[in-house]
A and B are shown apart, each in its own frame.
Chain A
């Protein structure tokens, strides 16, 4: 078991995903970044890359300079419409999803703590559904997207203040392997 974990963390390092583990470190490896090129299948017709791409340039999803590393949209109280300021962000993610048809995305809607927990699940769902609808219009495919709600159950900020509430009224977009 210890060995396995060691290997897993090595792979994670190679993949360049070691920073900011979001939830469980186990999920750090995914299909989106080719970590190693199998030496047994050199591609004849193309110039085979000698080193994994991830080591040459940062993963666009993780690169803080890339808009794709931005993952959160915020909302006003009791509102679920995507604000205009987030449209360029969603356009960038829609483009990525269009160019990477294997990429999958989970959209999590969140609410502040006020009101019924179950109603907040529905409200969070309305937020994530709104993001999903927009990504579909921008070219992403249904089978790439799942919109869910965490309601008020996973607050990023836990004080009962408007500053906190506004951080918790949020949709997050996560790619396969990040949740």
Chain B
């Protein structure tokens, strides 16, 4: 058995190698109550460079909320509900079925139609037709997966969102942006000095981050549309830990210009710095609650680093974390209900979640050096950095801890992930 596993491991390694510099994703563990679903090949999709059904299937599987039923051998392929042999799928305990078709249009573009079917009821849940160019196959497939995910789980899908992360290769650092499935990575910034703490603006059009290109930490805001960037916090001392306000107009940053690391609010263009905390201690890692009313942050004012909360313009401070002697990097889910953070337990750093209403806590990961958590915009997955064999790697875990994924890049250190917002289109 062990030999068998070892050879699978080798096979995976070979597959990863052929995927070049792309993030490859490996799923470990599955969630409870998975929805059994079949995604059939779309009639005519061979005309595209990539099969839409393959991408939809991979998206749904990666979420951990579906159990994929093998659908490769269905002959002839249905493209309408009336052509589906529901009895067959019922016998296989399928809850839902995705069918579709692709046709080439006169102008060279394609039309992709899909239908999501309820197998027990033998009805259509929904369906959409998209017009796409040959380059939009993946985008279209992600939107189909988002539709299916939302209809069947009640939660908005995140397959069309993007992630940012930092890749270190030798002495070169790159801030990269990829689709949520790790494909299509593009470099937004390359530097010979470290880059850290990327943070997406709420509209997904800008990234704030910390760059050491001036031999010290300076906060930049980088437009992903124009490629232009601007140093927005470059005061004497260190400038770091940018966090966007919910309206995207302001940034909370940590400055040491007045002595010690303290939290300030600045305009997104760097204007009008205002000091929010006034302690002789470390105050850092600000994170705006999604309602914009409060800021969570890390402080050692109680003698050890713990998580605190204050009003969005400063004022009264309340301690949020109590267990343990090292709790850092607070992030709040989009619905404001769950806090995740990194806790040190013995010598290990692990991701923990805290239900803010019930104060119920849960350990989500079992790594040695887990850090930098980032919620998916639907709050169902948390992306974080971990270490595998002395090398940085990204991983994701479902908010209930049930589903785990590992994302890795061949021969590089990957760290500092940030999951982007929903894209409204």
Chain B residues with Cβ under 8 A from A126's Cβ? 260-261, 282
The secondary-structure label for the interface of chain B is strand
Residue numbers in A under 8 Å from B298 (CB-CB): 116, 118-119
- What residues of A have a CB within 8 angstroms of the CB of B236 in the complex? 146
Inter-subunit contact A129/B259 (CB<8 Å): yes
Contact with B along A124-148 (1 / 0, CB 8 A): 1110010000000000000000111
B254 in contact (CB, < 8 A): yes
Contact across chains for A121 and B342 when beta carbons are under 8 A apart = no
Q: Which of A2-10, A33-41, A87-95, A149-157 contacts B (4 or more CB under 8 A)?
A: A149-157
Contacts of B254 in A (CB 8 A): 118, 121-122
Q: In the complex, what distance in Å separates the CA atom of A115 from the CA atom of B298?
A: 12
A151 to B217, CA, bound (A): 9
A53, CB-defined interface residue at 8 Å: no
Of A113, A122, A125, the most chain B CB neighbours within 10 A belong to: A122
Distance between Cα atoms of A119 and B282 in the complex (Å): 8
Residues of B within 8 A of A125 (CB): 237-238, 256, 260-261, 282
User: B349 and A117: CB pair below 8 A?
Assistant: no
Do A149 and B217 contact each other (CB < 8 Å), given the known contacts A119-B298, A121-B238, A125-B261? yes
Q: Is A73 an interface residue (CB 8 A)?
A: no
Residue B232 interfacial (CB < 8 Å): no
Chain B residues within an 8 Å CB radius of A117: 196-197, 371-372, 415-416
Chain A neighbourhood of B342, CB < 8 A: 115-116
Task: Report A-chain residues with C-beta under 8 Å of the C-beta of B238.
Answer: 121, 124-125, 148-149
Over the window 146-180 of chain B, the binary record of Cβ atoms lying under 8 Å from chain A Cβ atoms (1 yes, 0 no) is: 00000000000000000000000000000000000
User: Which of A113, A121, A179 is in CB contact (< 8 Å) with B284?
Assistant: A121
Query: Is there an interface contact between A150 and B256, defined as CB atoms closer than 8 Å?
Result: no
Q: Give residues of chain B (259-305) contacting chain A, Cβ–Cβ below 8 Å.
A: 259-261, 282-285, 298, 305
Q: Is A29 an interface residue (CB 8 A)?
A: no
CA–CA, A122 and B272, complex, Å: 23
User: Quick one: closest A residue to B215, CB to CB?
Assistant: A179
From B215, B261, B283, B285, A116 is in contact (CB under 8 Å) with B285
A65 smallest CB distance to B (angstroms) = 28
- We find that the number of chain B residues with CB closer than 8 angstroms to chain A is 37
Most buried by B among A23, A116, A147, A150: A116
| Interface residues on chain A, number (Cβ under 8 Å) | 27
Is A114 close to B, CB under 8 A? yes
B390 touches A160 (CB 8 A): yes
Enumerate chain B residues within 8 angstroms of A123, measured Cβ to Cβ.
282
Instruction: Determine if A121 and B259 form an interchain contact, defined as CB atoms under 8 angstroms apart.
Output: no
The reply to whether A122 and B237 form a contact with Cβ atoms under 8 Å apart is no
Q: Is A118 a contact of B241 with CB atoms below 8 Å?
A: yes
Q: Could you tell me if B329 and A118 are in contact, using CB atoms closer than 8 angstroms?
A: yes
Considering only residues 225-257 of chain B, those with a C-beta below 8 Å from chain A are: 236-238, 240-241, 254, 256
Whether B344 sits at the interface, judged by CB under 8 Å, is yes
**Is A115's CB under 8 angstroms from B194's CB?**
no
Contact A129 B256 (CB under 8 A): yes
* B369 interface hit (Cβ, 8 Å): yes
- State whether B328 touches A119 (Cβ < 8 A): yes
Q: What's the least CB distance linking B166 to chain A, in Å?
A: 10
Q: Which of chain A's residues 92-122 have a Cβ closer than 8 Å to chain B?
A: 106, 108, 113-119, 121-122
- Of the candidates B284, B326, B390, which one forms a contact with A118 in the assembled complex, judged by CB atoms under 8 Å apart? B284
With known contacts A116-B329, A118-B329, A122-B261, A149–B256 Cβ distance under 8 A: yes
Q: 14 extra interchain contacts, Cβ-Cβ under 8 A, other than A106-B215, A117-B415, A151-B217?
A: A114-B369, A117-B196, A121-B210, A121-B241, A122-B283, A123-B282, A125-B237, A125-B256, A125-B261, A126-B261, A146-B216, A148-B215, A148-B238, A150-B194
Chain B interface residues toward A at CB < 8 A: 194, 196-197, 210, 212, 215-217, 236-238, 240-241, 254, 256, 259-261, 282-285, 298, 305, 326, 328-329, 342, 344, 347, 349, 369, 371-372, 390, 415-416
